Amino acid sequence: MAGGQYINWLADVYRDTIIPYSKTWNQQFAAQIQTRLPPEVRDMIYHHLWNIDPRRSFPNTIARSQIRSSRDHTEFTWDSDTITLYPSLAGFARSTVRGDKNDIRQLCERSFLPHYICEEYVGPTTATEVVLSMYKAFGTAGFLLCQSHRIERVLTEDCFDVGLDPLSAIRQLTVHCKMDRYRTPPPKHPLFFGCNHKISELAYVRKKALKADFGPLLDVKKKSGFKLHILLIQRVVRIDVLAEFIETLSEIYEAFCKNGACVTVSWTYRGHWHPNQMIPDEDLVIKDITTFFDMPREVWAYNMSRFLQKVKRCILPRHWRIDWELTDSEIPANPSKFWISKMVHDMWYSSENEFTTDDEDDSDESGEDSADDDDNGSDVDGRAQSTLCP
């Protein structure tokens, strides 16, 4: 039998014999588990299916190397890790990869997803229980994170198509919010005396879009005990922009805190690095700003200014816009049209039109998590830290 014929024969055997046998055996085994073991024991078993280490770097690369080594009969040594073996799990849970029941089945047959999340292998009851345990494990490991514009999909879509409501299953979530995404667009023309901008255009943030993306969080029915972490990522450092974010997100913060949830909010500066490049430790600036939501603006703005002055050497000069912001006392009572127009144009500088954090992610996503969504050792994940600037 020639090489090509052998490969085709092997593929036929796998499709026509091995997969049907695997489904039959696993369905019988899952039925016995459901019949003979109580829910508490089943939960203990499911717990051991998820060996998650969120510090793994570049899980897709590791998994592909491992799969390739098994096919080529070469040695590849790596500690057992669920995300390493099945990197698509994170993509589905974070809603960066989407598919229907047929896609799930095919991915399980090709070993890109574990077979025990597919009801064709283990039945609908066991598959639902397994996926629920996965959400618990992801939450405990701090591995369940998403970008702010994907919150609704993560909380509402039954991504593994097992009849599970993620809104009730998810109890811990980290949201990465790129502040660039919500900035109001800059004027399309240069400043001139004929400009006729209105005072309503002095908003830095598209608040309706920000509220729309974070709004699905309010649909979480059981907020008590829920752990929510929001990471605000900013490139051009403007306290006025941060102020509008805090004002807009206050509704989310108050709704969760009032109902017994644990909410933390962190702010971090993101300089301009090459896509897929890890953030240099010496440039990592991050601050816990949770208490800012309970402070008057003038108090937290003063504290933030002092913090930023201490880490100013870690921020690129073209991203420093603190000294250009006006205080309330500097705003005239009856501003002229030209003054308003000048303020509207001053909200954007040429450096703010550079390659943004959003552009970096969009250029590298290709249907999978971007570098910023992955916990790739940069330490900017769900945990607030002090600045690492020397």
Q: What is the pLDDT along the chain (390 residues), one digit of tens a residue?
A: 565 777 777 778 888 898 999 999 999 999 999 999 999 999 999 988 887 665 554 444 444 444 444 434 444 444 457 777 788 888 888 887 777 778 888 888 888 899 999 999 999 999 999 999 999 888 887 778 899 999 999 999 998 889 899 998 999 999 999 998 898 887 777 777 778 777 777 788 999 999 999 999 999 989 999 999 999 999 889 898 999 999 999 999 999 999 999 999 999 998 765 555 555 555 578 899 999 999 999 999 999 999 999 998 888 888 888 765 555 555 666 777 777 777 777 777 665 655 555 555 544 444 334 434 433 333 344 333 333 333
Cα distance between the two ends of the chain: 66
Model-level pTM greater than 0.85? no
Q: What pLDDT score was predicted for residue 190?
A: 75
Q: How many angstroms separate the CA atoms of 85 and 38, rounded? A: 29
Phi, psi of 300 (to 5 degrees): -70, -30
Instruction: Judge contact between 266 and 287, C-beta under 8 A.
Output: yes
pLDDT digits (tens, 9 = 90+) for 349-362: 665 655 555 555 54
Give dist(CA 267, CA 289) in Å, integer: 6
Tokens of 343: 């303020």
Q: Is 193 helix (H, G, I), strand (E, B) or coil?
A: coil
Q: What is the tens place of the pLDDT at every residue in 129-186?
A: 999 999 988 888 777 889 999 999 999 999 888 989 999 899 999 999 999 889 888 7
- Nearest-angstrom CA–CA distance, 287 and 278: 19
Q: What is the pLDDT of residue 283?
A: 54
274 by Cβ neighbours in 10 Å (0-12 / 13-18 / 19+) ranks as exposed
